[in-house]
Amino acid sequence: TLADLLDAQVGRTPDAAAVVCGAVVLSYGEFGARVNRLARFLIGAGVGPESSVGVAVRRSVEMLVGMYAVVKAGGAYVPIDPDQPAERVGFVVATADPVLVLTTSGDGVVVPAGVRVVELDTLDVSGFSAGVVGDGERLSRLRPAHPVYVIFTSGSTGRPKGVAVPHEGVVNRLLWMQERYPLTSEDVILQKTPVTFDVSVWELFWPLIVGARLVIAEPDGHRDPA
């Protein structure tokens, strides 16, 4: 699973730089600890294999930690663009039926009534262990066939449709890319593709399973070539 690959890389290079966002630099060990603590919170909230979690966060460290934590908990992340019309956000949330929606106090996302919203920038997860999340802690065993994300189509040919992609599909793609276009610890990948578009998946996960560095473009930063 994708969770296995991340855990393995954190174990190999815990002190190497993993994620850069503005002035924030997290090592593999620091990033893994943040992800694992949040994953344990999510498991306690009812997130596990075959369930989903909305991630309505603009590009940031919180966005990345949130997505990885959903994956580590065993759930499927559903990316939600806070800047899209409220009608589409509501449709995506109602259709995906997530256990909860992760956001931040600054993202200002509005979701349908009755859906639990958790703000990552105000949530205290310091009481949770930072160690590797094992299958025994998850609500059920995480398998390669379980969904890792659900991304909705644009809806240009009708109503948007949620497409679920399993761990085995994403892992197969990433390992093929690494074999064909190998990254090393000296490489830097820029995460700038909107996460509601599945081209973002390799940007989000490839560098951090092979020891490279992931730099997160600030929101709308991809519009500035310099």
Q: Could you read off the pLDDT of 147-173 as tens digits, one per residue?
A: 999 999 887 777 889 999 999 999 999
d(CA 23, CA 119): 22
3-state SS class at 33: helix
Residue 224: its pLDDT value, please? 82
For the chain, give the mean pLDDT.
Answer: 95
Residues 58, 105 contacting (CB under 8 angstroms): no
Residue 49: its pLDDT value, please? 97
Burial of 154 (0-12, 13-18, 19+ CB in 10 A): exposed
**Higher confidence at residue 219 or residue 222?**
219
Residue 170: its pLDDT value, please? 98
**pTM assigned to the model:** 0.95
d(CA 26, CA 5): 18
* Angle in degrees, 0-180, between the axes of helices 28-44 and 2-12, rounded to the nearest 10: 140
Q: What confidence category does residue 204 fall into, taking pLDDT thresholds of 50, 70 and 90?
A: very high
Q: Which of 10-14, 142-146, 220-224 has the lowest mean pLDDT?
A: 220-224
Kindly report the number of other CB atoms within 10 A of residue 117's CB atom: 14
| Number of structural domains in the chain | 1
DSSP letters for 115-128: --EEETTT---TTS
Residue 103: its pLDDT value, please? 97
Handedness of CA 42, 45, 48, 51 (dihedral sign): negative
Residues 63, 55 contacting (CB under 8 angstroms): yes
Cα–Cα nearest to 130, from 2, 35, 197, 8: 35
As given in the structure block, the two tokens for residue 210 are: 């092979």
Q: Which of 100-109, 195-204, 217-226 has the lowest mean pLDDT?
A: 217-226
Q: What confidence category does residue 222 fall into, taking pLDDT thresholds of 50, 70 and 90?
A: confident
Q: How many CA atoms lie within 13 A of 151 on its CB side?
A: 14
The domain spanning residue 14 has which CATH number?
3.40.50.12780
Range of the domain at 109: 2-223
Amino acid at 82: P
Q: What confidence category does residue 28 fall into, taking pLDDT thresholds of 50, 70 and 90?
A: very high
Residue 27 has pLDDT above 80, yes or no: yes
As given in the structure block, the two tokens for residue 104 are: 């931040």
Residues 202, 174 contacting (CB under 8 angstroms): yes
Which position has the token pair 């109503």?
159
Residues 52, 97 contacting (CB under 8 angstroms): yes
